[in-house]
Amino acid sequence: METLRYELRGSRPVKRVDPVLVGVVASGNLEVLIEAGVPGLCVFQIETSARGFGTIWEAVIRDFHERHDFAGTRVSIHDMGATPAVVSLRLEQAASSLAGDLR
Amino acid sequence: MNHSDIGTTLWNRRATRRQARLARVSQRLGPALSHSCGGKLVATDSAVALLSSVLECGDRVCLEGNNQKQADFLAKALVQLDAKSVHDLHMVQSVLSLPEHLDVFELGIASRLDFSFSGPQGARLARLLAQGRLSIGAIHTYLELFGRYFVDLTPHVSLIAAQSVDAEGNLYTGANTEDTPVIVEATAFSGGIVIAQVNEIVEKVPRIDVPAGWVDFVVKAPKPNLIEPLFTRDPAQISEIQVLMAMMAIKGIYAEYGVQRLNHGIGFDTAAIELLLPTYGESLGLKGKICKHWALNPHPALIPAIEAGWVQTVHSFGSELGMEDYIRARSDVFFTGADGSMRSNRALCQAAGHYACDLFIGSTLQMDLAGNSSTATLGRITGFGGAPNMGADARGRRHASAAWLKAGEQSRAGLTGARGTPRGQKLVVQMVETFREHMHPAFVEKLDAWELAEQSKMPLPPIMIYGEDVTHVLTEEGIANLLLCRTDEEREQAIRGVAGYTPVGLARDKRMVENLRDRGVIRRAADLGIDVRDATRNLLAARSMRELALASGGLYEPPPRFRNW
């Protein structure tokens, strides 16, 4: 297990308070939970079964944040060795559930 | 040569040698030969004696090893020969699949090999080569090896597999005709000996695949010959990423070029495309506009598209277990005999795929920045079977089609002289996720093939599809259209641009990649109007083997290993 954490400044606050959960905790897959967080920040907390992929995680997270620029949110990820393709797909699925809830 | 030599030159040594082989058999096997089957039937328990009587040291031998059908009984007989009396055989066969195909080298019966594909035996082949147990002439494509059967690798003796033999000695191969016609043609018309194993002896075969006159001996095998269901893919294992890539293939390539005639490589990536035609393809209004004619094995995954009326014809390299009744019931689509069963033919289907198809799409394990791709990995010598013929521009092609012309125009725009002369080009698409299992990047600076070539002292790295022939690279990140690249640098950045988070992808020049995107060289899902959130398994026309069987109206009977209901 490895834990990674990224705190990025965002400018699009999310008003929704109900958490959004997509994906499953299964081999090659992952679970993404988005919930309300610290104002002005988008905090990513990643627990992954595969060690040593920090560079790739950071690149995936930064690209996602560049697209959505969420603020006041906390994104928790439980990863079971998903490829970056699956990670990006799940993040987009979670983000789309929030789309109607932007302030 | 002076005139006095003419009278002494022998011109029928092949025929004489053939007579000597036949004489040895009748002398040693006399009582084991019967009058049945046109006098060709040899008792099952005399198979080893038959081979040892026929074979001579140094013979070129084709032991029918197909992609699917295997002459397994004759293979087991061959490895029982005494290497002291029969040795240094030169094996010339398309596929090494059974352990016996390599046992002959380990046992010292054979010493030289020319072949096309060794998938399951690739690691052992590399070990035996390193130990000096054999020498490899070359690794060929199927058509290339078949071509050499008629030039400098003609078999002296061929050991083939058929379904049945009749009273006259005619053979019926069943749906898995595969390599048999080309092997028999080369052997029977060059003074060689053809020996067939059959599953059954019948009064009259349903149709004649090999005429009796081309067959010398027939042995009834104690068990039906082995056939591998290589092309069956369980839809339950298709991922959402594969669905996304299939959507991009259909909308971004098939529709874009109006691809009517095509070949699909083996795998889940292409199975996803087949299963999306009647759903996603239908929603785009593409029925009747794409995917009408196929050079393809009878993929079960194609059943829903056939049933929905998308597919006009399918010609096949081999058959697929469980598809027999479905094929019989869809004789407008598949190539079937008057008896109703399919006749496949690897050589002719390879020719069809090469010359008469506008598109090949297949997967790979590694691709470099020039677009060269290979499935060769360290410690394994596998070859590529038919992929290099399917995945290569057909330079001898002269007939035009809209898809072929459009690809040719894109690649030649702005060129002058010989290179600018108008002609078409085959679409060759490499479809690959940026990371393989265990996070192995599919995109690399240098293919493993280079190191493998060095290790095994090959004259060239084993590249499956040359970058020069690849027209599109499709990943979950988008499509790179290499036809539109004008420089090596553009090509490199186009490939990096769809290589995602692999080291190669992360090292891309962001500005150049965005520029390529503006020019349409790189097209992401969003650029194609595809919402990645629509990429769900619900788009698959069948999501399980059971749904495939249902879609066939119960005609498709999946092999037991694929049945879980």
Checking if the pLDDT of A100 tops 80, the result is no
CATH code assigned at A75: 3.30.230
What's the rounded mean pLDDT across residues B255-280? 97
Per CB-CB distance under 8 Å, the chain A contacts of B433 are 83, 85
Question: Cα separation of B156 and B61, whole Å?
Answer: 6
Checking if the pLDDT of B376 tops 90, the result is no
When computed from its CA atoms, the radius of gyration of chain A, rounded to whole angstroms, is 13
Q: What is the tens place of the pLDDT at every residue in A4-52?
A: 999 999 999 987 668 999 988 888 889 999 999 999 999 999 999 988 9
Interface check B535 vs A, CB under 8 A: yes
Check A89 against B244: CB less than 8 A apart.
Answer: yes
Check B239 against A86: CB less than 8 A apart.
Answer: yes
Q: What is the tens place of the pLDDT at every residue in B437-456?
A: 888 999 999 999 999 888 88
What's the token pair of residue B244? 């996304």
Interface check B242 vs A, CB under 8 A: no
Among B240, B435, B532, the residue with its CB nearest the CB of A84 is B435
Check A85 against B535: CB less than 8 A apart.
Answer: no
Q: At what angle do helices A54-68 and A84-98 cross, to 10 degrees?
A: 30
State residue B561's pLDDT score.
92
Question: Cα separation of B115 and B100, whole Å?
Answer: 15
Using CA atoms of B144, B146, B150, B151 in order, give the dihedral in degrees to the nearest 10.
30
Check A60 against B239: CB less than 8 A apart.
Answer: no
Residue type, A76: S
Per CB-CB distance under 8 Å, the chain A contacts of B432 are none
Check A85 against B241: CB less than 8 A apart.
Answer: yes
Q: Distance between the two ends of chain A, CA-based, in angstroms?
A: 36
Q: What is the tens place of the pLDDT at every residue in B478-511?
A: 999 999 999 999 999 999 999 999 999 999 999 9
State residue A103's pLDDT score.
43
The maximal CA–CA distance of chain A, rounded, in angstroms, is 37
Check A85 against B506: CB less than 8 A apart.
Answer: no
Reported ipTM: the value is 0.91
Interface check B268 vs A, CB under 8 A: no
Q: At what angle do helices A84-98 and B240-249 cross, to 10 degrees?
A: 90
Whether B342 contacts B316, CB under 8 Å: yes
Whether B236 contacts B267, CB under 8 Å: no
Percentage, residues of chain A above pLDDT 70: 93
State residue B432's pLDDT score.
96
What 8-state DSSP symbol labels residue B37?
H
E strands of B399-507, at which residues? 427-431, 472-475, 478-481
Q: How far is A57 from chain B (nearest CA, A)?
A: 9
Checking if the pLDDT of B158 tops 80, the result is yes
Q: Please report which confidence band the pLDDT of residue A99 belongs to, taking 50, 70 and 90 as the band edges.
A: low
Q: What is the number of structural domains in chain A?
A: 1
Residue whose structure tokens are 């959960």: A21
State residue A15's pLDDT score.
76
Q: Is B320 exposed, middle or buried (0-12, 13-18, 19+ CB in 10 A)?
A: buried
State residue B196's pLDDT score.
98
Q: What's the pTM value of the predicted model, to 2 decimals?
A: 0.95
What's the rounded mean pLDDT across residues B97-114? 97
Q: How far is A69 from chain B (nearest CA, A)?
A: 18
The whole-chain average pLDDT of chain B stands at 96
Q: Please report which confidence band the pLDDT of residue B5 belongs to, taking 50, 70 and 90 as the band edges.
A: low
Name B181's Cβ contacts closer than 8 Å, sequence gap at least 6. Answer: B209, B210, B345, B347
What's the token pair of residue A93? 């699925």
In terms of DSSP H, where are the helices of B339-401?
A: 346-355, 387-390
Interface check B400 vs A, CB under 8 A: no
Percentage, residues of chain B above pLDDT 70: 99
Domain that holds residue A55: 2-101
Percentage, residues of chain B above pLDDT 90: 91
State residue B2's pLDDT score.
55
Q: How many CB atoms lie within 10 A of CB B355?
A: 15
Q: What is the tens place of the pLDDT at every residue in B27-55?
A: 999 877 888 999 999 999 999 999 999 99
Using CA atoms of B293, B296, B298, B301 in order, give the dihedral in degrees to the nearest 10.
-80
When computed from its CA atoms, the radius of gyration of chain B, rounded to whole angstroms, is 25
What's the token pair of residue B460? 């060239």
Check B241 against A83: CB less than 8 A apart.
Answer: yes
Closest of B448, B442, B479, B474 to residue B462, by C-alpha: B448
Per CB-CB distance under 8 Å, the chain B contacts of A84 are 434-435, 500-501
Interface check B501 vs A, CB under 8 A: yes
State residue B269's pLDDT score.
97
